[in-house]
Structure 1
Amino acid sequence: MDLKTAFLNGDLSEEIFMLPPEDFIEEGNDILLASSDESLLHEAKSFLSMCFEMKDLGEASYVLGIEIHRDREKGLLGLSQKAYIEKVLKRFNMLQSNGAEVPVSKGDKLSKEDCPRNDVERTEMKDKPYASVVGSIMYQSDPGIAHWKAAKKVLRYVQRTKGHMLVYKRTDSLELVGYTYSDFAGCKDTSQSTSSFVFMMGEGAVAWKSAKQPSIATSTMFVEYLRVVMKLLHMPCG
């Protein structure tokens, strides 16, 4: 439902008095309405509803930029960010770029060694909007050309997969299933490992994260231990 202006229609627990708007007051009939009188309260709500233009917009097709797809016959609900992805690609002049199969290829490792080492390399990066592509949360200080190429590769990957969406299936069992993975000393700069997890419900992802482990693991067993701890600390609840 869409309201042209704010209209609170909740249950009132306190005693509330109100006067009709000036244009609706009949001369000699200035009646105060009290929430303690159910009939008067109902009359007040009906009266106020007439003062606000309401419109039934039907089922939502977009929420916060996410496109909603429904297939009621198959019991499927899809969430797509194609419009947002195309907006990002257009912003960085990559809307017509060729798609990439994967965002990161096996063996790709970025580190501080790839940062500019002289003024010529720094000048080469001045016109590259690397920070804008990666975003402030994933910001890499002093990025080099290798970092910029990796960021563009991610954009080419989302170009190829922009038609993909999160799909949730109607099911009798709301079973929560989790998958985790950890590498071993994946960061070339700190030797820290990276843990990742995804939780599925209704055959669709509901929570996911990939982050560098806070401690340096000295064995693959310790890596797995930290992975389990990370999984438990961030497990969805409710």
Structure 2
Amino acid sequence: MALLASEFAMKDLGPLNYFLGIHVTRHKDGMFLSQRKYAEEIIDRAGMSSCKATSTSVDTKPRVSSTSGAPYDDPTHHRSLAGALQYLTFMRPDISYAVQQVCLHMHAPREVHMHALKRIIRYIQGTLDYGLHLYPSSVNDLLSYTDADWGGCPDTRRSTSGYCVFLGDNLISWSSKCQPTLYRSSAEAEYRGVAIVVSESCWIHNLLLELHCPIHKATMVYCDNVSTIYLSGNPVQH
């Protein structure tokens, strides 16, 4: 702190409590990061303060396409809520996939897409106390998990990659994103997902090195596709 103060004009504001919509609660085992107040603002903006909560954020039925149903009469309202939900995923990895699917149709939202967005808000209504716990951990290794569907988008047949990265016992990075290229097999889609999370893990390695907290072990990456595992272990295919 003294070194930083010698280089930059700084003021100590005390322990972090609230910053950019994120509330920080400290306890004896670590800290809890929550966006409850911000989530309540989204619910109020949507006019759903008295809505009935749902237990899941996404419907298990087949995904709707960009041409399903009638166009939504207020696309600006849809885009505003979808953008707000994107910021909420900073502390809510449980809604990352559902929000990503809604954001695919921000350019031309339809009634069914707004229904999907409202389902996310109904889920948030029942899970306002959810957030991210960070604990001191004796383990300082990086551990990554990745998965991908194959041709899941009904319009483009592109796949969606999802991953999460743990530093010890703490979740520090996660993502759900549509892959840029169309692949002809599930192994290709899964291999691309592995490549994405490995890239993210390398970036975290370098960041921790700059913070003088180097990781001395290789990152373990878990994938549930046998073909991808064999492909990753064969340098001839790289």
Note whether the superposition's TM-score is higher than 0.5: yes
Say whether 1:226 aligns with 2:182. Answer: no
Whether contact under 8 Å (2:146, 2:161) holds in the other structure is yes
Distance 1:167 1:230 in 2: 25
Q: How many residue pairs were aligned?
A: 182
Whether contact under 8 Å (2:137, 2:168) holds in the other structure is yes
Whether contact under 8 Å (2:139, 2:169) holds in the other structure is no
1:192 corresponds, among 144, 158, 162, to 158
Structure 1 stretch 177-186 or stretch 136-145: which is displaced more?
A: 136-145
Shift of the 108–158 alpha-carbon distance from structure 1 to 2, 3 Å rule, reads farther
Deviation at 1:233, TM superposition (A): 2.1
Please list, as runs of the form range in 1=range in 2, the aligned pairs for 1:54-133 lying within 5 A after superposition: 58-72=14-28, 75-114=29-68, 116=70, 122=71, 125-126=73-74, 129-133=77-81
Aligned twin of 1:134: 82
Whether contact under 8 Å (2:163, 2:197) holds in the other structure is yes
Whether contact under 8 Å (1:82, 1:162) holds in the other structure is yes
Aligned twin of 1:147: 113
Distance 1:11 1:86 in 2: 39
Deviation at 1:206, TM superposition (A): 0.8
Aligned twin of 2:229: none
- Secondary structure at the counterpart of residue 103 of structure 1: coil
RMSD: 2.6
Structure 1 stretch 218-227 or stretch 56-65: which is displaced more?
A: 56-65
> Higher helix share goes to which structure?
2
Unaligned runs of 5+ in 1: 1-7, 13-53, 117-121
Identity over aligned pairs, percent: 27
Distance 1:171 1:191 in 2: 41
Deviation at 1:203, TM superposition (A): 2.5
Please list, as runs of the form range in 1=range in 2, the aligned pairs for 1:174-193 lying within 5 A after superposition: 174-193=140-159
**Following TM superposition, where does structure 1 have runs of at least 4 consecutive aligned residues deviating by more than 4 angstroms?**
none
Relative contact order, higher structure (CA 8 A, sep 6+): 2
Unaligned runs of 5+ in 2: 87-102, 208-238
Deviation at 1:148, TM superposition (A): 0.7
Aligned twin of 1:171: 137
Q: TM-score, normalised by structure 2?
A: 0.69
Cα deviation, 1:102-121, whole Å, max 9, x if unaligned, reads 111222402122153xxxxx
